[in-house]
Amino acid sequence: RCISRMDHHCPWMNNCVGAGNLKHFLLFLIYTWTCSVFCLTLLAWNYFFCADDGCIFQIVLLQLVRIMSILSIGTFLFTSSMLMNVIYGILTGVGTIDRLKKKANNTLNESDEEPIPLTNVFGIGPKWTWCLPIDPVFHDYDVVMGYSTPQRLLREQMRDTSHNVKGGGSPSIVGSTVTRDSYGMPV
């Protein structure tokens, strides 16, 4: 696996879904599900509850409404299935690929994985940010990803060294600048 906590490869996102983008995938499904429900409601309201004389559909418009209804129903069913799959994975801690492998080997009941905490999906930001498509900030990036980067290990080593310096001050490194990514990790 090249993706931390890989769940599956998504052809719609053209990317693997894992620890780093599970929030974005889940929001993508929720947004798509919401749009399909809205579309179905709008079509049903205009098609079935139109009692006005001006609501006579021409044959072309009638066919378009039927096609859109079929597409919306298909999208609704597919995204409902995917949402249930992702929520099951979060609640059980078993990703899609792992679940399928365990099911094939009849070892699904022997799973010892823990549920994924919601803060490992949505981050530690305020709960109102959970529904926004922004990158989550994690309390401990290494725990969420399941690995440590050499830059983080070096930073922790430098921090530990600075605590051991007499006087509690941090050692100064003259002329050095550290570029950091959006998670505060040195690059």
- Give the phi and the psi of residue 7 in degrees, each rounded to 5: -95, -55
Measured in whole angstroms, the distance separating CA 88 from the mean position of its chain's CA atoms is 13
Is residue 55 annotated as a catalytic residue, yes or no? Answer: no
Q: What is the DSSP string of 10-42?
A: ETTTTEEESTTTHHHHHHHHHHHHHHHHHHHHH
Q: Which helix (H) or strand (E) holds 9?
A: strand 8-10
- Cα separation, 123 vs 136, whole angstroms: 5
Contact 84, 30 (CB under 8 A): no
**Which residues make beta-bridge pairs with 10?**
15
Q: What own/partner pairs with CB < 8 Å and gap ≥ 24 does 32-37 have? A: 32/75, 32/79, 33/76, 33/79, 33/80, 33/83, 35/75, 36/72, 36/75, 36/76, 36/79, 37/76
Catalytic option among 10, 16, 35, 39 = 10
The residues annotated as belonging to the active site are 10
